[in-house]
Amino acid sequence: MQKNLKDFKGKEAIFIDANIFLHHAFDTNAVSVEFLKKVETSNLKAYTSALVMEEVIFKLIMQSASNFLDRVTLQSVKLFLKNPKNREKAFKPVEEYREYIEMLKDFGLTVLDLTDKDMAAALQKAKTYGLITADAAHLAVMERKEITNLSSSDGDFKMVDTITLWSPV
């Protein structure tokens, strides 16, 4: 089932997908920005995972490096980051956003670990629902923690009948 994220009242636990953080970081979706403000101020039972954090940080690094490169490929970013001065420039906004995540943790955001058992379950979920493994891993972590609400703009989750998808779009 899909619902609008701006209607989430916060009585139950909710898992936050990477795209919600990225909407906030790049200020590209007002509903996602407002939702994370609720996490800051409303004592929500908000969860995410270490895998989500990796996705967010990776995309922030790629975006930051793109400010200094003519063409962004994984290889060009890797080459760019070999230079310590470039690393300093590229990682500054990433470190600033990481500070924001730490502040959210102070307000109650919990970052869950991803286990090998989660990945075994994720493989089955990927096969069942036709998801990429990262998305299936989010479901596996949610299932282990008995979280049935997911905030995400990823429509691939619409077919998962065991969760409520709270979408900002």
- The predicted pLDDT at position 42 comes to 85
Tens of pLDDT along 12-57?
Answer: 999 999 999 999 999 999 999 999 999 998 888 999 999 999 999 9
CATH 3.40.50.1010 fits 2-167, yes or no: yes
CA distances from 52 to 29, 68, 79 (A): 18, 25, 25
- The predicted pLDDT at position 169 comes to 85
List the beta bridge partners of residue 149.
164
Helix (H) or strand (E) holding 15: strand 14-16
Residue 103 has pLDDT above 90, yes or no: yes
Collect all residues with Cβ–Cβ distance below 8 Å to 81 and sequence separation of at least 6: 61, 65, 87, 90
Q: Which of 50, 70, 76, 62 is nearest to 26 (CA)?
A: 62
CB 160 within 8 A of CB 138: no
Rounded CA-CA distance 14/45 in Å is 6
